[in-house]
Structure formats: C-alpha cells, structure tokens
C-alpha cells in the first residue's frame, strides 16, 4: 500500500522508552519487533497519532529545518508491525494474549532494570552478567547473524569449521559483554581491566612507523571487540583520530565524551578526535594531523553505507543520521578467502597522499577475557611509485594481511555476516 502526503496512519498501542545517547526504542504492546529512532522520529509518531497526515508532519518539519521525508520512519514501522491502519484500511491485527504479554513485559520491563542493576557491579561480575542478559535478550537476532555468516563462508574457498555457527555466536555475545562493560564501568576500572587482560605484540612496529615522523595510519579490522582498539591505542600515549560512521544505536557525542574522559583520566594526556563522516574538511584536518605524528585509526574491512546509492537510501540515511558523506566511498577489489571482494580504499589513498605508513591492527580473543593486540609490520610504498600506484600497493599489502587473519581466525571476523554485500559476482 502506497504512502503519500495525504496518508493518515493509525498505530497500535506503542511503548516508547528512551535508551542511551538520545536513542528511543519504539515497540508495539505484545509485539516482537521494535525500531530505534531519535527525537525527530518520536515527534513524527506523536503527530501521526494525533491524526495529522504524512504531508502535514513533513510540512511542520520543513518550517523548522530543511525539507525532511518521514517515509523511512514509516517503512521501518511497517516492517516492525507497528502500524494498525493506513487510511482506514487494516494493516495488521493485535497479538495481545497472555503469552505475548508476558514475553513483552519481560523484554521491555524486566531486562532494562536488569541492565541498570548490572552497571553497578564490579567489572568482572558485570562482564558475566551482561553476557547472560545478552544471551536472553539478543540471542535470536545474533543467531540469524551467525547463520548468515556461515552461509557466506560456505561460498568461499575456506572449509567451514565444525560448530562454526556456535563459535561465531559465542564471539558475538562476548563482544557485546566486553564492549558494554568497558564503556559502562568507571574509567579507572576500565583502564585497569584493559591493562591486565590485553597482551601486546608488535609495539616495535608502531615505534618504527612513528620514527618516520609522518604520522601513522592504523588499519583496524573487525575482529573480536574492535571498539576497544581506540582506547587501547590512547592508553599508549598516542594522539588519535578515529574515522567511524555513526549508527542510530550509537550516540556520537557520548562516544566522544567517553574517549575524551578516558584521555584525561590517564597520565598520557593524549588527544582524541572522532571523524564521523569523511568529507573535504575532515580530510584536510587529517592531512594536517599526520605531520604532527598523530595516529589515524580507520576500519577499512566493513561494507560502508553509501547514502547516494538510491533516493530511498539517501532519505533513510538523512532521517536517521546514519551517514552524511556527500560522495561515494572509494572501493578496491581484493581477494579474501578465495573470493573477489570490494573493500574500502580509504587507508591506501590517505597513505599515498600523506606518505604516512600503514600499520595493520588486530585485536584477537585468545581466551575468555584475554586478548592479543597485534601490530603488524608497517606498510610503506616506495617513493619512486606514482601516487595512484602507491595507494594500490598499500591496499594490496593491507588486505593480504586481512586475508591471512580471516583464514586463521574465521570465527572472530565479524565481516562474514555482511560478506554478501561486498562480494563481487563472478
């Protein structure tokens, strides 16, 4: 059923609760699905519940700021079964019965209180408690992710390990537990836990790269708890510039605040800057930071949302604030696990423009609660190469390192569940 400016929407009875960092979660009473949005989305829902048409809501937004489409919000609400009627026509029926009511009450009333209580526990107990709650609250969507990962892996040259799906799910759950615990506990505890549970190898490679006085580009890959890579590098006294695209479930301002407090809590007195979307001003800032021997941390191995892919994607990205870059992310085709895969070319391009060496960074889980932070040999393109050839050289060597780790630690690489989005059809 089409939705236009004259459309009037009636929702089921909704439960709206506020999460961390300005994110709101909207669920239907008794339903299984929910959507995440921000204040603009809640304002649109309230206006639609009051009987305003889609066009009237969009017009009210246009008076406050530039023209905004709420089509992405309505499409998300339709997919989650939150809409009961459109223009008087029934879309979905109520699932209100004792069983669904009990499950809904547990998911949206009990679990949030459990998470709040968990944050007051000591860090070691908190890890296990978050893991337990994640097994209950997040297991179903993570199982689907693990199934997708196994399906994608079967289409490569690698042999699928026995119980690969369970191992992948295990790492996903512990990734949630370790990341949430470190970012929620007091900073002294977070620093102490990281120092105690992370072993470093290859620090001499980082020092060798810094000795060139051209800055360092650390190319991180999404193994184990990859969000911990940034605080780990900060703990080594490095001024860090992190390039990362925001998502609806991560509050960028909260992330910046936490990392800045992490810097000020230590003796290193380092600086942290987060680059949310790579645009021309941020590129200039990074090219100015590298000669000061600062570090740029980027993760080039994940599929990046392209807001210019089509009009619907552009509207969705604009409404939810997922990506705001005004140009198409550059890609390079490289072999991974015996397949031709598109990866982000950004690291090699920045290295070619700045002359900075690239150090591949891997954070691997060696046991429950213990990690290995591995810094690989710096990748430096020969000076006699043309600039475009230097970028290709760096990226070729960089993704050769990724391929080696993917083959050695397949269940820890979280690129598998998005592998089909990056694979080049043969």
* pLDDT tens per residue across all 426 residues of the chain: 577 788 888 998 888 888 766 778 888 876 667 788 888 888 889 999 898 998 888 888 777 666 678 888 888 888 888 888 888 888 877 666 666 666 666 766 777 778 788 888 888 899 999 999 888 878 888 999 999 999 999 989 888 888 899 999 999 999 999 999 999 889 999 999 999 999 999 999 999 999 999 999 999 999 999 999 999 999 999 999 998 765 555 667 778 888 999 988 877 778 999 887 677 888 889 999 999 999 999 999 875 545 444 555 555 555 555 544 445 567 889 999 999 998 988 899 999 999 999 999 999 999 888 999 999 999 998 888 888 899 999 999 999 999 999 999 999 999 998 898 888 876
220 in Cβ contact with 361 (< 8 Å): yes
> Residue 401 CA to chain centroid, in angstroms?
22
26 membership: H or E segment, kind and range: strand 24-28
Residue ranges of alpha helices (H) inside 198-320 are 203-210, 229-234, 252-265, 280-289, 311-320
Cα(403)–Cα(391) distance, rounded to whole angstroms? 18
H-helix or E-strand spanning residue 124: helix 123-137
Contact 77, 28 (CB under 8 A): no
Taking the model in full, what pTM does it have?
0.79
Strand partners, 45: none
Q: Which residues pair with 364 in a beta bridge?
A: 372
- Bridging pattern class, strands 14-18 and 24-28: antiparallel
How many whole angstroms separate alpha carbon 185 and alpha carbon 336? 37
> Helix, strand or coil for residue 250?
coil
Give the residue extent of every domain in the chain: 9-90, 98-176, 186-422
Residue recorded with tokens 């790492």: 171
Q: How many other CB atoms are found less than 10 A from the CB of residue 305?
A: 16
- Look at strands 240-243 and 272-275 and give their pairing: parallel
Helices (H), 273-360: 280-289, 311-320, 346-354
Neighbours of 140 (CB within 10 A): 10
Which 3 state secondary structure label does DSSP give 155?
coil
């Amino acid at each position: 059923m089409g939705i236009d400016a004259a459309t009037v929407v009636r929702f089921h009875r909704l439960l709206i609760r506020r999460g961390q960092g300005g994110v709101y979660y909207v669920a239907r009473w008794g339903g299984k699905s929910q959507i995440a949005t921000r204040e603009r989305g809640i304002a649109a829902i309230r206006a639609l519940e009051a009987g305003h048409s889609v066009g009237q809501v969009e017009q009210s937004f246009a008076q406050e700021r530039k023209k905004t489409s709420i089509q992405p919000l309505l499409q998300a609400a339709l997919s989650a079964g939150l809409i009961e009627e459109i223009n008087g026509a029934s879309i979905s029926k109520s699932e209100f019965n004792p069983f669904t009511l009990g499950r809904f009450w547990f998911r949206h009333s009990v679990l949030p209180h459990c998470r709040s209580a968990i944050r007051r526990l000591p860090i070691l107990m908190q890890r296990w408690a978050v893991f337990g709650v994640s097994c209950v609250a997040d297991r179903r969507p993570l199982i689907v992710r693990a199934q997708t990962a196994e399906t994608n892996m079967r289409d490569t040259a690698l042999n699928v390990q026995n119980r690969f799906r369970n191992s992948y799910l295990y790492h996903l759950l512990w990734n949630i537990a370790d990341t949430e615990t470190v970012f929620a506990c007091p900073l002294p505890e977070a620093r102490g836990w990281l120092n105690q549970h992370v072993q470093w190898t290859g620090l001499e490679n980082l020092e060798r790269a810094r000795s060139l006085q051209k800055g360092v580009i650390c190319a991180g890959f999404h193994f184990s708890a990859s969000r911990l890579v940034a605080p780990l590098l900060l703990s080594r006294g490095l001024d860090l510039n992190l390039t990362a695209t925001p998502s609806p479930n991560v509050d960028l301002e909260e992330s910046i605040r936490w990392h800045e407090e992490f810097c000020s809590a230590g003796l290193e007195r380092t600086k942290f800057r987060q680059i949310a979307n790579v645009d021309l001003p941020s590129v200039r800032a990074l090219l100015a930071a590298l000669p000061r021997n600062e570090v740029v941390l980027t993760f080039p191995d994940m599929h990046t949302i392209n807001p210019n892919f089509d009009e619907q994607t552009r509207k969705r990205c604009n409404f939810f604030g997922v990506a705001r870059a005004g140009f198409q992310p550059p890609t390079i085709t490289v072999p991974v696990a015996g397949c031709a895969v598109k990866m982000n070319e950004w690291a090699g391009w920045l290295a070619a423009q700045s002359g900075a060496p690239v150090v591949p960074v891997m954070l691997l889980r060696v046991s429950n609660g213990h990690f290995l932070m591995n810094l690989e040999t710096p990748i430096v393109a020969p000076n006699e190469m043309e600039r475009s050839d230097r970028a290709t050289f760096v990226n070729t060597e960089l993704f050769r390192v990724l391929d080696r780790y993917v083959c050695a630690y397949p269940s820890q690489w979280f690129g598998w569940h998005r592998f089909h989005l990056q694979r080049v059809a043969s």
